[in-house]
Every structure is written in structure tokens, then in C-alpha cells.
Amino acid sequence: MMGPPTIEAEILAGLADVDFFDTRREDAMDPARLARVDALMVWGAPVTRRIIPHLTRCRGVVRFGVGYDKVDVAALAEVGIPFANNPDYGTEEVADHAVALLLSLQRRLWEHDARSRTYGATWQTNTLSPLHRGSKATVGVVGVGRIGTAVVNRLKPFGYRILGHDPHQPAGHEKAVGYTRVRHLDELLAESDIVTFHCPLDGTTRGLLDAARLERFKPGAILVNTARGELLAGLDPLETALRSGRIAAAGLDVLPSEPPAPHPLIDAWRAREPWLQGRLVITPHNAFHSDAAALEMRSNAAWTVRILLEEGVLRNRIAP
């Protein structure tokens, strides 16, 4: 959570009191207080079998965010507690952030910025090549749900050829949204000049981007990830792919470990080493954020709880 629960308390006024667990650690949550809650809203803390047995009167758990890889939905279901996420906030922000990374890397803006600092007698003659025209490039979108669809809609006016891979979308989704469906991920990777990831983290996607998978990218491709850092199977494969040129550039809002631990790739990025300048852009897991999104996130979650307590209906429910 971001600060004291004043927004939540206002929405739940007259129906429920708010008890604020100001921690991201399960072992810091008082079992007696947990036993009194009728609903639990959670931001950064995990919800596992460590605290679930104490939720004896809880009628539902609601996550402020979209992803729920830290929540043991199956364990909640075993004791009859439904779970919901908060999918209808921040869509515009994440889509804007992904497209900003994509366009800037495709135009090599950060590399121009880094190199321009060294130019003296020459200026305009310092062009970078290859530098591809957007309307001649292919963008692959992995995960075409709410955010992926918003990305597709933003990219269409630029003239990109857009491929999409998402086995969870129904037949015809690609026709309604406006992209070419690709059944196999490796086929999308082989054809795409830029690949942007918007898939959830689960057993099928964790470690998806390992060394073998990165070798299936089109040579010189750009990788953008604003989804989950654990899609990367560590930073070693990405460093290898960047050094070899298989991946021309990467824009990451998420990392396998946050804040990032010391690693040769992170060290090279921090030091602005010449081989990496402008080719790796990292933002601190804040693609979702804007002032409006922060308010929307908290109010939506609180309204989900209010509807649950008043009507017995948990919207955005996630099946185990």
C-alpha cells in the first residue's frame, strides 16, 4: 500500500473499520488482528499458508494490483476464501510506458543522447545505422489482454505490422482489435523486429526468456518488458544476448530481482559502459503509476470490498 488507508476508509465508512498492517512481511502480521478481518486488501505482502489459517472470518482477499503471483489462490480456496485482483486500473499508463520504451529504442534516442555528449567538431553527420522506419518494422505483442490490446491500439497509427500471441484470447479477438494472430511464440519471435511482453506470471511463463528462447529472437531485435521481471530467467542470458547483438536493445520496467542485486549487466548499466550505452533502459517498476492511476487503484480495490460486504459478490474473482 501507498501510505495510510485514508482513501479506503472513506469508501468503507459506515460499513467497516480499517485496520492497517503497515508491513510487507507475513511474519509481522498479528494473528489476532488477522482473525478479526472480514476482508483483506493486499499490495506488496505475500498471502500464503503462513497467514491464511488465521483468516478465520475473512470473506475475501483483494489485491490492489493486477498480478497475483505472491498470493496462494489455491490455499485460499481450500478454506473457502475467494480472491480477486484489480485489473481495471493503470492500463493506459502501462501501455503508454511500453510504447514509449518501444519507440525510443526503435529510434535509438537514448543511444543518440549518450553518444552526442562526446561530439565536438561534427554533429549532424553522426547518424546511427541500422535505424529502421517504423512502418517497415514488425512488432510482436505477447499477451493481448487489456494492456496488450491498449498497446496494439496505440501502435496502429504508426503503421507497424503487429503480430499477437495469446492462447487465452478467443477466436476472432485479433479481428476485433486489429492484429495478426500467431499461434506459436517462437514464430512471433522469429518475425518481430520489436517484442513487447504483457503476459501474466504463472507456471508457463516464469523463466520464459531463457538463453534458448532469446536465441529464437530475430537477430537485432528489441525486447520490451513491462509485465513481470521473472519472465526473464535471470540476467545472464540477457547479458549474453546483448553482448552478441542478438538483442539490439532492451527496455525493462521489471527485473528478476528488485532492487537489482549486483550483476555484470547491472554494473555495466550503472557505469554507462560504452558497449551498452543507450541499449539498455531500466525504469524502477513504475510503468503502472500516475497520480490518477494511484487513486484509481486504491478506490477500485476498496469498492470491490464494499460490494463484497454489502452484496456478497466479489467482482474480478480469480479461480484457483
Q: Which residues are catalytic?
A: 228, 258, 285
Report the distance separating Cα 96 and Cα 287, nearest Å.
8
Q: Which residue's C-alpha cell is 479506503?
A: 8
- How many Cα atoms sit within 13 Å of 155 on the Cβ side? 34
Neighbours of 245 (CB within 10 A): 10
Judged by DSSP in three states, 244 sits in: helix
- Residue 13: left (phi > 0), alpha (psi -120 to 50), or beta? beta
Distance set, CA 287 to CA 147, 290, 294 (Å): 11, 8, 12
The angle subtended at Cα 85 by Cα 203 and Cα 37, nearest 5°, is 115
H or E element in which residue 156 lies: none
Q: What are 95's three cell numbers?
A: 501501455
Report the distance separating Cα 222 and Cα 233, nearest Å.
17
Query: Which residues, in sequence order, are CB contacts of 72 under 8 Å at separation 6+?
Result: 46, 47, 48, 49, 52
DSSP string, 5-22: SHHHHHHTTTT-------
Going by the DSSP 8-state scheme, the letter that residue 232 receives in this structure is: B
